[in-house]
Amino acid sequence: MSSASPFVSIRRDLHKIPELGFREFKTQAYLLNYIHNLPQERIEIETWKTGIFVKVNGINPIKTIGYRTDIDGLPITEETELPFVSEHEDRMHACGHDFHMSIALGVLTHFVENPIDDDLLFIFQPAEEGPGGAEPMMKTDTMKKWKPDMIIALHIAPEYPVGTIALKEGLLFANTSELFIDLKGKGGHAAYPHLTNDMVVAACQLVSQLQTIVSRNIDPLDSAVITIGKITGGTVQNIIAERARLEGTIRTLSVESMQKVKKRIEELVAGLETGYQCEAKIDYGSMYHQVYNQEVLTREFMEFVRKETDVHVQECKEAMTGEDFGYMLSEIPGFMFWLGVDSPFGLHHAKLNPNEEAIHTAIDLLVKYIEFKGKR
């Protein structure tokens, strides 16, 4: 696909204006402007916060096929030096949602101009990166009114070449939860530590203790991850810290393990309160349901791609990646797949630069599959 392609150009436009969850005002306006300029005879449009629902009415519908894209960016300073670099300071589409949106618009455009028998519902979902838009979007009156019978989504994958997709039946992405722990002790002069309760020391001890949960409390045949990615504490080098904060994430391949991890965290934090004579507060922030690909639909899709397209299908392993599309799959049969974009830099990296040829690959593939599912 050349840079002259409208959907490559759209991707570049969207790449310039990344916005955080539920603040995607420019993004929503851009998307709505494009959608309103499509032929309107068969489409219905409704908005929810910064999200958008677009229903394409079929010729003779008996079911609704859903397609979901996420629209938010990340709080990352871009380092790509592209001519269409982010214009928003400390914001970047470093997870490919600019790709996801341009692909969705490409598929939407095709079916507005070439309707099929069945109805289609395109969901432009905000806040995938946080605090999570899928779960509340599922509860809207619009979703209840237009709820699809099946639903599809994709996610770019820098590690796979263009022309390859990857997926599997069953569990694809993990259960995830944010983790925030605030500690409050007693600060004081660095020369008089015996008169204080040092929360930097407490925080360091807690980080070490948290790492024992996976190694000693989770079945080694199961999988879990606890990562503390940020610690803050204290004010200056010669004052013992009265407060400290740990920020991290939990990932598990089963709901049961997530419950066990959280129970153990609470026990360790309670012990820390006693041992360090401090106060502690745990906040699990946003939680994402596992992405579980419905077996029959996933198998059918993989067979279709192998027989009817030139795209290479690779069966992959489950990943500890989090995706709130899992909330939609918990109520609607469907699947998500990885789209190869061949970038040396991974997701959430400041230099992520996916190959734009993948946009055409995805649009063509999805159009063919949706036509197969929606025509009789």
- Catalytic annotation, residues: 70, 129
Backbone φ, ψ for residue 149 (5° rounding): -85, -20
Spatial distance between the Cα atoms of 204 and 339, rounded to a whole number of angstroms: 39
* SS3 state of residue 187: coil
What is the distance, to the nearest Å, from the Cα of residue 277 to the centroid of all Cα atoms in its chain? 38
Name the CA dihedral angle for 104, 109, 114, 119, rounded to a multiple of 10 degrees. Answer: 50
What is the distance, to the nearest Å, from the Cα of residue 70 to the centroid of all Cα atoms in its chain? 7
- Say whether the peptide bond before residue 39 is cis (omega within 30 degrees of 0): no
Terminal CA-CA length for the chain: 31
- 186 close to 197: Cβ distance less than 8 angstroms: yes
Q: Which strands form 51-56's sheet, in the order they lie side by side?
A: 43-48, 51-56, 119-125, 64-70, 150-157, 334-340, 164-167, 312-315
Spatial distance between the Cα atoms of 272 and 260, rounded to a whole number of angstroms: 18
Spatial distance between the Cα atoms of 356 and 336, rounded to a whole number of angstroms: 20
